[in-house]
Every structure is written in structure tokens, then in C-alpha cells.
Structure 1
Amino acid sequence: MAPPRKHDTNVILDAARTLVLTDGPRAASVAAIATASGAPVGTLYHRFGNRNGVLMATWLRALERFQERTLAAADRPDPVDAGVAMASACIGFGRELPEDAKLLLNLRPSDLLDGGPDDEFQARRARMNAPLIDQLHRIAHDLFGRDTDREIDAVSRAVVDLPYAALRRHAHASALPDWLDADLAAATRTLLESYRA
């Protein structure tokens, strides 16, 4: 059995995220991340390869945490219920992991990575996004009887754009308003119900 890692990966990624959100992406050098996390510079290079590797892992961890919640919520047979649950999961993500939400809302990978995202990053993000896109297709097909671009766009307005806009509006508040969950769920349900064939 391998010994446990001395420096927890989540502590390192949390430190990188804090530096980026507090002082901007350029502040997140390998040396600064090492100092903030308590992990030696050599550990960061060994585990992540370089600065891009640390920041890519930080951003992808936030995306994975978001997607875990959203996909778990989508597991409902009724398309409206599934869409409402997915939208609500977005708000839940923002409430439970506000720093990860701020990272995804405010910074694109190209803002973080030297030279922009490489092919490996793009491919991994596409693989991660595929199950969510499949759920949007399922909801569109169940509501409209088809899932062409127009129907996917309509479902995305309800399930993606509404919660994104709500989170973005309140991203810099100390906490999300208590009423936001119910209001967003009601708005999403109304829009999705209007699509039923």
C-alpha cells in the first residue's frame, strides 16, 4: 500500500483558487501557490507538471463538482422535474461551494492558462460536458418530441441560462438570498412547462 500523500491535493488547489480569485490569475505562480498551500515547489511540479497544470486542475475540479451535483439532480423521469432539479442544483452548487462557483463564473480557462487551453484540456472538458449535454437532449426530446438546435436552445435557456444569470447576479454577495432557490425553481418550471408538446 502506498503511503498517504504528505500534501493534500485539495489544499493545493484551494490555495491556487484563492490566489486567482483574490489577486488575479497572474498572482498564481507556482512559488505563490507553494507558499500559500505549504507544499514544496517540487511537489507542485511533480504532481501537476507546471503552473498550467495546477490551474487546469483547479478549474476542472470546480467543473467536476458542479457537474456531479447537476447530473445527480437530472435523474428524474419527468423532463420538467429533471430540468427544475438541474437548475436548482446550480444554485445549490453556488451556495455550497461559492468559491468554485466564482471561479467558473468569472474566469475562462483562457484567462488562467499560459498560452490558453491545450488539446488535452479541451478534450477532457468536452468529455466532462457530454453527459450534461445528453441530459439537455433528453429533456428537449421529451418535451418537444425532437431535439434539434432550436429545442436544445430553448431548454438551455431554462436549465442553464436562468441559473447562470441568477448566480452571476449574486456572485459577490456574502451569501445567496434565501428566496433564490424557490424563485428560480418556479421560473424554470414555468418556462419548461410552456414547452410541453
Structure 2
Amino acid sequence: MPRPRVHDLDLLLDAAERLVADVGPERFTVRGLATASGVSNGAIYHAFGSLPVLLGRVWLRAAGDFLDLQVELVDAVRPDDPDGGVRSVLAAASAPAVFADRRPEAARMLMGVHRDRLLGPDLPQESAEAMFALDKRVLALLTRLARALWGRADGPSVEVVTLCVVDLPTAVFRRELTGPCADGRPRIGADSRARLEAAVRAVLTLPPPLPPHGARTTGSGKE
């Protein structure tokens, strides 16, 4: 059975994203992916080896692309902007909406399916290491944003940034990203985007609490 070519693998992963977003990982099957993609069951197994490996690749690709976009948006903030710290957090918080414009199926999957439902106990070591590396990159971005705002990256400051770039966007955008859409392309309206910005700015008007005495800062300080 010939192995799919590299560009075919991307198309296969695109189809898998759509299926996971539509039916959830519990109802996702290789047979269903074969039907949706036109690639045979044997070729899919030859390319990925097992269903857990396939689902891990689907999630890790989408999550990695999302983080790349988030960093890109933060990097686009001018370093000499006097409000650069706040604007950087706003840029990171806006990433789910921008990602939905560019990669709608991936955005629906990341918002609607928690990674623990895709990355189960049978995840191979290589995928587990990739997930750990991705988590480290996320933490590096959070600490970078905290330092830009307050010159510190302790637990409380990183928690406030996490509220702004993870919790608030999830709360504000979830309905539009996971609700029904006729063409599979979720649309986050201007009102939701404006309300998210207002919420993030409101949170950032209060500085984070001081860390407990003797607590260590988060990250290496090299972000």
C-alpha cells in the first residue's frame, strides 16, 4: 500500500480536523476519515500507524499553528509603543478570532474539543514530547507578556495574563466557534471582538497581586 505523499498528509489532516470538529473524537474513525478524504484505510494506517497517533498529530498540528499565529500577532506590536504591553496581550487574546478566519475547522476543533479527549494514554513518546515542547512555548509566551506589562513573571502575574489570553477569549468566543454554521466557517463578529478587548483592558487596570513570600518566578527570564 503506497504511503501518502507529504502534501497529501496535510490534506488528510485537514479532513481529520473537520471530522473531529463535527463529530468529536469519540465518534471519529479511520473508516470515516477514509470516506471523507478518499484515502484508503490501509494508506491511513500506513501513514500514521494507529488512531491515537493520528489524533495526536491532528491536535498538535492545529495547536502549534495557533501558537505560531499568536506569537506572530504579538511580534507585530511595535516595540516602541508606550502601550505595547497591553497591546501585546490584546494581540494574543485576539488570536482565536484571527485563527478562525484563517483555519476555521482547526479553530472549531481547538475550541470545542479539549486536548485530553484527543491525547489519551496511548499517545506515543514522540507525540508526548512534542506536546511538552508546545506547553513550554506557551509558558514562554505567557511569561514574556507578563514581563512586558509588569517587569515580572511570577505565578500571580502569569495567572492574570492567562486569564486575558486563554480564559476570556474562550468565554467570549466559544459560542460563535462551537455553534452551528452553515458552511463550516465560524464567524466571530465585531461586537464580540470589541467586548473581548474591553474585558481584557478592564482586567489589566488592576496589577496582579504580589506572590507569596519566597515564591520563585515563572520561566527562565530569557523569553
Residue 193 of structure 1 and its aligned partner are, at CA, apart by 4.5
Give the match's secondary structure for 2:207. Answer: coil
Report matched runs for 1:74-85 at 5 Å.
74-75=74-75, 76=77, 77=79, 78-85=84-91
TM-score (norm 1): 0.84
Unpaired segments of 5 or more residues in structure 2? 182-186, 209-223
Partner of 1:93: 99
2:144 and 2:17 mapped to 1: Cα distance? 34
Q: Which amino acid aligns with 2:157?
A: E
Q: Would the alpha carbon gap of residues 24 and 158 (structure 1) be closer, same or farther in structure 2, given more than 3 Å must change?
A: closer
- Aligned counterparts of 1:14 and 1:7: Cα–Cα separation in 2: 11
Note if 1:68 corresponds to 2:68. Answer: yes
Task: Among all aligned residue pairs of Structure 1 and Structure 2, give the percentage whose two residues are the same amino acid.
Answer: 34
Runs (4+) of structure 1 exceeding 6 A deviation are none
After TM superposition, list the pairs within 5 Å mapping 1:85-164 onto structure 2.
Answer: 85-113=91-119, 115-164=121-170
Provide Cα deviations, 1:86-124, integer angstroms capped at 9, x if missing partner. 111222113332321221122233323564544433321
Q: Which letter maps to 2:160?
A: A
Which blocks of at least 5 consecutive residues in structure 1 are unaligned? Answer: none
C-alpha contact (below 8 Å) 1:83/1:192 kept by paired residues = no
1:65 counterpart letter in structure 2: D
Q: Distance in 2 between matches of 1:158 and 1:114?
A: 28
Q: Distance in 1 between matches of 2:50 and 2:68?
A: 27
How far is the alpha carbon of 1:160 from its aligned partner? 1.8
Q: Which has the higher helix share?
A: 1
Aligned residues: 194
Match for residue 203 of structure 2 among 179, 183, 191: 191
